[in-house]
Amino acid sequence: MDVEQYISSGILELYVAGVLSEDQNLEVYRYAQEYPEIREEIIAIEKSILDLSSTAAIKTGKRKGFSDIIKRIDVEDPTPVVHIKSGRTNWSAWAGWAAAILLGAGLWWFYLQNKNMRSEMLLRSSEVQVLQEQIFQARNSRDSALELLNSIRDRDIAVVALEGQDVAPQSYARVYWNKSNGTVLIDAQGLPKPPPGMVYQVWSLKMSPLTPTSIGLLDNFDSDDNKIFALANPNESEGFGITLEPAGGSESPNMEQLYTLGSITS
């Protein structure tokens, strides 16, 4: 983008005056955030309007008369001045001052209106962005829920209930194993929150002899509201177990921290 050309186009003056459309205001606002030169030019334009308003005001208390001019040129005994009373008022001068005051007041009003409009526009823009994010999240949640339902309704799904063990008898979990594509969904809603520095690890089990094989960790357990975890299981599993292990997982399960266990029925 040619910033200098954009500044010289006059659109920033119209932006400060508040006569642009909503889309144009949004465009100028975005450019002002992106380019410091544009933001500084807007500030300079607003300052010039305020200065013009201040200059246009009549400051009667500070007017200087002929006597002040005498003092400035340092004349000790000035020639007496004969004051001639005018028979008419200088309406053109007063009209000029009145026009300047009206112009300054009008520009100040436009400035305030534009400032309020931009504040309201930014608020609405933020509200729209939040709404869009909420819609996006809701849509993703809906799509994820439909995908999950389709997954567990597949005829090739094996459902394995995992019961609580001695370390946590109230715990439970459920495994949905799709044998055709080797994916596993773990519903871990019945597991308690793991202590800091610990993580749940899922094991595929062969029963005879008992051979555990890790198929993954239930990472980010606290932040997952649904407590549904997808893992890969290429093994010929006969059961599943979940243990509590140090962060990063273990090569073999800690049977003293076996939270849930279940076997696959034919």
What is the residue-level pLDDT of the chain in tens, covering all 266 positions?
788 888 888 888 777 777 778 788 888 888 888 888 888 888 887 777 666 655 554 444 444 544 554 454 454 555 555 444 544 555 555 656 666 666 666 666 666 666 666 666 665 555 556 655 655 555 555 555 555 555 555 556 888 999 999 999 999 999 988 888 888 889 999 999 999 999 999 999 998 888 999 999 999 898 888 888 989 999 989 999 999 999 999 999 999 999 999 998 74
Q: What is the pLDDT of residue 254?
A: 93
**Whether residues 103 and 205 fall in one domain:** no
**CA gap 153, 22 in Å, rounded:** 49
| Contact (Cβ atoms closer than 8 angstroms) between residue 221 and residue 200 | yes
Helices (H) and strands (E) in the chain, counts: 6, 8
Domain membership of residue 85 (yes or no) is no
**What phi, psi does 204 have (nearest 5°)?**
-85, 135
| Contact (Cβ atoms closer than 8 angstroms) between residue 212 and residue 205 | yes
**Whether residues 41 and 116 fall in one domain:** yes
Predicted model pTM: 0.46
Q: What is the pLDDT of residue 213?
A: 94
Here the CATH number for the domain that contains residue 177 is 2.60.40
Domain membership of residue 209 (yes or no) is yes
| 191 membership: H or E segment, kind and range | none
Domain extent, residue 208, equals 157-263
**CA gap 149, 234 in Å, rounded:** 22
Q: What is the residue whose two structure tokens read 């962060």? A: 247
**Whether residues 51 and 182 fall in one domain:** no
**Whether residues 9 and 102 fall in one domain:** yes
Cis? peptide before 209, omega within 30° of 0: yes
| 232 membership: H or E segment, kind and range | strand 228-232
Domain membership of residue 63 (yes or no) is no
Q: What secondary structure letter does DSSP report for 74? A: T
**Whether residues 11 and 141 fall in one domain:** yes
**CA gap 168, 152 in Å, rounded:** 27
**Whether residues 220 and 166 fall in one domain:** yes
Domain membership of residue 53 (yes or no) is yes
At 66, which amino acid appears? F
The length of the chain in residues reads 266
Domain membership of residue 80 (yes or no) is no
**Whether residues 226 and 131 fall in one domain:** no
Domain tally for the chain?
2
Which of 239, 241, 235, 238 shows the shortest CA–CA distance to 182? 235
Tokens at 182, concatenated:
């080797």
**Whether residues 107 and 235 fall in one domain:** no
Domain membership of residue 250 (yes or no) is yes
Contacts of residue 11, defined as CB under 8 A and 6 or more positions apart, other chains included, come to 20, 24, 28
**Whether residues 45 and 112 fall in one domain:** yes
Domain membership of residue 72 (yes or no) is no
Q: What is the pLDDT of residue 202?
A: 96
**Whether residues 170 and 141 fall in one domain:** no
**Whether residues 9 and 122 fall in one domain:** yes
| Contact (Cβ atoms closer than 8 angstroms) between residue 32 and residue 38 | yes
**CA gap 106, 209 in Å, rounded:** 91
Domain membership of residue 44 (yes or no) is yes
**CA gap 18, 34 in Å, rounded:** 21
Q: What is the pLDDT of residue 5?
A: 84
**Whether residues 126 and 166 fall in one domain:** no
